[in-house]
Structure 1
Amino acid sequence: MFGLSNIKHYESRAITAENFKGEKGKGGMATEGTGKECAEGLGQGWKISPSVEIEAGATFELAAIDGPGIIRHIWMADSTEVNRSLIIRMYWDDSDIPSVEVP
């Protein structure tokens, strides 16, 4: 268990607003999204959907991944006021109770 973070043979994936499943080569492929107006005419490969808008009181599922993995980084940007009111829950192994719940 102590060497788990030193595994040499692994696949790295990024879960993003454009690639919720972390599929290889699928980032930057959106044609609709929050950045569509700014990137109009640029086409696929540009950040057409770099973010998601979550309404107050709503629940949003960022990712549902099968199999083992390691979460190495979470990055969110918004106002400090909004970030302080967010609740992040992480579930694994089909649990109904979150394994992580913050704040």
Structure 2
Amino acid sequence: MPEDQLKNTLDELFQYQTERPAIRKAGIDALVRLVPVALRDTGQSGVVARFLLGLYNGPAHPFDLTELRRLDVGLFDDFIAVLRLDNTPEQEVHTYLPNGDAIWQELRGNWA
């Protein structure tokens, strides 16, 4: 790898690591907003629940990206924040929340 390409790669990695605490906070905050929506019984609730289940276990719970068109802007932005959080996972998405196992079990029962 040429030296300038290596430097750019290292700079990008450093920048990402610098931004990671803010990404983590924004993602967890978004997750906290999304879960109550997923636990309701609305059209958007199903989209949110299936998205969260897909992050948890994509092969078992595939998510159709065209479903994103059904979301209002705030929910869509929260999806992006949670995706950024889960892009470099530090832990399973459900473990960011108290009682996450029980919440995801309820989501599976309601929407899987």
TM-score under structure 2 length normalisation: 0.22
Write 1 or 2 for the structure with the bigger share of helix.
2
TM-score under structure 1 length normalisation: 0.24
Write 1 or 2 for the structure with the bigger share of strand.
1
**Higher normalized contact order (CA 8 Å, seq sep 6+, divided by chain length):** 2
